[in-house]
Structure 1
Amino acid sequence: MVATNEFDVDFDGTVAVITGASGALGSAAVERFLEAGATVCAVDVIAPSDADSLLESDPDDEPALAFYEANLTDEDDVADLVERVVDDHGRIDHLLNVAGTWRGGDHIEATALQEFDFLVNVNLKTAFLASKHALPHLQEAEGSIVSISARSSLEGGEGDGPYRITKAGIRLLTETLAEENRGTVRANCVMPSVIDTPMNREMMPDADHDSWVDPLEIADVLAFLCSDGAAVTSGAAVPVYGEA
């Protein structure tokens, strides 16, 4: 995977925890942070050896990469994950809440509670729990959190309400984290429109794929928001729409 960055970011000596690391955006973030010199703790329920994993770096061949399998919707699992990361690496400097998914479909009155709960758990609960348990270590390191919201979270829409609701929740979680940790931990989020992923291409084969944003371009923004270049930025929701 070739990085597209046009700026230098130095994360040497820092530890980054990246959730959703086996997906398109998460794996791009892993590559970007490894390139910048960070020790990367890649977290997912899908192992790198799984056929569905897009994580190209192999933890067996990349000494700065460690993979942790964890269910981020389970608080005990998240607490154990954070404890293992700190035991293994001594600190946490960056938390990237990338884990998430998209579902569309029915109007609210026809939406099954199971579908709503699924999106709340995967998109919002994972970010809440990871932030909650990583915060004491991020506060000690005066680190940063970057989460993934969505352009569609800015307004209501037809047929994908639960998704929009959870991504709006990410923005409010980000603003809350920024207010509660002013001067210690910076918290920001990005708002993609359509990301150029294999899943999106399969779901929308007739769309204009050239207008979509490459995951590596978003990973550059994630890296910038964790860098000293964004030292005065906290509580922001940054558009990463491209031409979509």
Structure 2
Amino acid sequence: MTVSFDFSDRVAVVTGASGALGSAVAEAFHEAGATVAACDVVEPSDEDSLLDADDGIRFYEADFTDEDAVSEAMNRIADDHGRIDYLANIAGTWRGGSPVEETDVDTFDFLFGVNLKTMFLASKHAIPHLKDEEGAIVSVSARSSLEGGEGDGIYRASKAGVRLLTETIAEENKGTVRANAVMPSVIDTPQNRKMMEDADFDKWVKPGEIARVVMFLCSEGAAPTSGAAVPVYGEA
């Protein structure tokens, strides 16, 4: 069965849009007819970017760990397009390999900045615009946020924060803005394939598959759903 979405006349903001998952989400919204505001610190022309911003996707360069930059970007997007309907908080990263007592504070600050602060600031400055359209937020938590583990506790904690903040936003905005999270495990990206060359890539979930769940959670089909953390890890 083929699932399709129609987001014509809607505006979707996607953070972390130059990465593997962010670019997939941005392109999926665009293919479904949405106007896409793709946000990242990495420009589409950068060799590390996976985003094609030449097909109608509008790129906004902004550091989403900087509140002034986030506020300016959200206001500019709303001014440029007249509205904001959806926010996909995709910006995030992973670092691990050390137990807590060997983890430096810079790693803590980095992970909480990229994974949680970006989600907090984007949501904070998008919510006033989203309320006008009774819009939706979808953020990226992680399967590993559900329990402790060896070597990547700071990452897990930051992603648990995303999940709990999602529940809070949903509670605070009942009837106006829905907020949900997706929980991937290992995503099939070029970087992950390089890091884990001997893994079974067929068990990993593709970015495009997660993008469709993000769009569903923004769609009318998920109208009764808010405050949820949705597994998207398949067999991984």
* TM bucket normalised to smaller: over 0.9
1:161 to 138, 144, 153: 153
Pairwise mapping of residues 16-55 of structure 1 onto structure 2 (< 5 A)? Answer: 16-55=12-51
Query: Could you tell which deviates more after superposition, 160-169 or 48-57?
Result: 48-57
Amino acid at match of 2:124: K
- Give the TM-score normalised by structure 1: 0.95
Pairwise mapping of residues 91-240 of structure 1 onto structure 2 (< 5 A)? Answer: 91-240=83-232
* Counterpart secondary structure, 1:238: strand
Amino acid at match of 1:227: S
Alpha-carbon shift at residue 56 of structure 1 (Å) = 2.7
Look up the match of 1:84.
76
How many residue pairs match? The answer is 236
* Counterpart secondary structure, 1:68: strand
Instruction: For structure 2, list consecutive stretches of 5 or more residues without a partner in the other structure.
Output: none
| Preserved CA contact (<8 Å) 2:183 2:230 | yes
* Counterpart secondary structure, 1:156: coil
Alpha-carbon shift at residue 120 of structure 1 (Å) = 0.3
Alpha-carbon shift at residue 23 of structure 1 (Å) = 0.3
* Runs of 4+ that moved beyond 4 A: none
Look up the match of 1:7.
3
* Counterpart secondary structure, 2:46: coil
Alpha-carbon shift at residue 6 of structure 1 (Å) = 2.4
**1 CA distance for matches of 2:12 and 2:109?**
28
Alpha-carbon shift at residue 127 of structure 1 (Å) = 0.3
**2 CA distance for matches of 1:213 and 1:56?**
21
**2 CA distance for matches of 1:88 and 1:56?**
20
* Counterpart secondary structure, 1:54: coil
Amino acid at match of 2:44: P
- Taking only the aligned residue pairs, the percentage that are identical comes to 69
**2 CA distance for matches of 1:223 and 1:78?**
23
CA offset digits 1:77-101 (Å, max 9, x no partner):
0000011101100110000000000
Amino acid at match of 2:29: F
**1 CA distance for matches of 2:223 and 2:2?**
19
| Preserved CA contact (<8 Å) 2:53 2:59 | no
**1 CA distance for matches of 2:226 and 2:2?**
22
- Give the TM-score normalised by structure 2: 0.99
* Counterpart secondary structure, 1:190: strand
CA offset digits 1:142-172 (Å, max 9, x no partner):
0000000000000000000000000000000
Alpha-carbon shift at residue 43 of structure 1 (Å) = 0.3
Alpha-carbon shift at residue 242 of structure 1 (Å) = 1.1
**2 CA distance for matches of 1:103 and 1:166?**
11
CA offset digits 1:23-69 (Å, max 9, x no partner):
000000011101110000000000000000001342xxx23x11000
> How large is the Cα RMSD of the aligned pairs?
0.9
Amino acid at match of 1:14: R
